[in-house]
Amino acid sequence: MPQELDQIDIAILNSLIEDGRKSFRQIGREIKISTPTVQARYRRLVNLGFIKSVSPVLDMSKLDKKYQKEIKSISQTKSKLPMVKDDDKLSVKVSCDFCEQPIHGSPKVIKFGEYERFFCCTSCRSLYKEKYGGRIHSLSNEINEF
Ligand SMILES: [Zn+2]
């Protein structure tokens, strides 16, 4: 017998399709239901086999050019990263969270709560803090810069 999905199930799924990294608590707040309800509904959707899997969506264009050609497609929408040898590392391009320019060298960072923001220079970091200060403080009391 087919199982029915109600408005809550659909809202949870759409919220996860937007961003699969959201916590059950974030989803609950967003659609105004309790965290345990989100969790129970999520589990049911997994058990029904409707949520097949959760996998990260990578921005392969941020990968260093020399590895671009080695990316292995496993389906039309999914690719695997190339494995590196020994001490070799993959490098991923990062852009400034304030001016959006590519960051060369080591980024200036702000950490608050579970968030981390990257900047090209200390002035972008200060300007970001000025602009989003209220929001940063509402998310965490502990703000670290380095
Ligand atoms: Zn910048």
- CATH, residue 42: 1.10.10
Predicted confidence at residue 78, as pLDDT, reads: 78
Whether 78 is covered by a domain: the verdict is: no
Whether 15 is covered by a domain: the verdict is: yes
pTM above 0.75, yes or no: no
Rounded alpha-carbon distances, angstroms, from residue 83 to 73, 77, 92, 129: 14, 19, 14, 37
Which residue in this structure is represented by tokens 């590895």? 67
Predicted confidence at residue 113, as pLDDT, reads: 82
Whether 55 is covered by a domain: the verdict is: no
Count of CA atoms in the C-beta half-sphere (13 A) of 47: 7
Predicted confidence at residue 75, as pLDDT, reads: 76
Q: How many angstroms is it from 65 CA to the middle of ligand 1?
A: 23
Q: How many angstroms is it from 96 CA to the middle of ligand 1?
A: 5
Whether 38 is covered by a domain: the verdict is: yes
- Say what the alpha-carbon torsion angle 15, 59, 50, 40 is, to the nearest 10 degrees: -50
- Return the biggest CA–CA distance within the chain: 60
Which residue in this structure is represented by tokens 């970091």? 125
Whether 84 is covered by a domain: the verdict is: no
Q: How many angstroms is it from 136 CA to the middle of ligand 1?
A: 18
Whether 102 is covered by a domain: the verdict is: no
Predicted confidence at residue 111, as pLDDT, reads: 92
Predicted confidence at residue 44, as pLDDT, reads: 94
Chain centroid to Cα 59, Å, comes to: 11
Average pLDDT, 10 consecutive residues per value, the chain (146 residues): 88 92 94 96 93 86 81 79 85 92 92 90 95 85 85
Whether 31 is covered by a domain: the verdict is: yes
Q: How many angstroms is it from 99 CA to the middle of ligand 1?
A: 4
**Closest C-alpha among 117, 113, 114, 138 to residue 126:** 117
State which residues form the domain around 37: 7-47
Whether 80 is covered by a domain: the verdict is: no
Q: How many angstroms is it from 5 CA to the middle of ligand 1?
A: 45
What's the number of domains the chain is made of?
A: 2
Q: How many angstroms is it from 102 CA to the middle of ligand 1?
A: 8
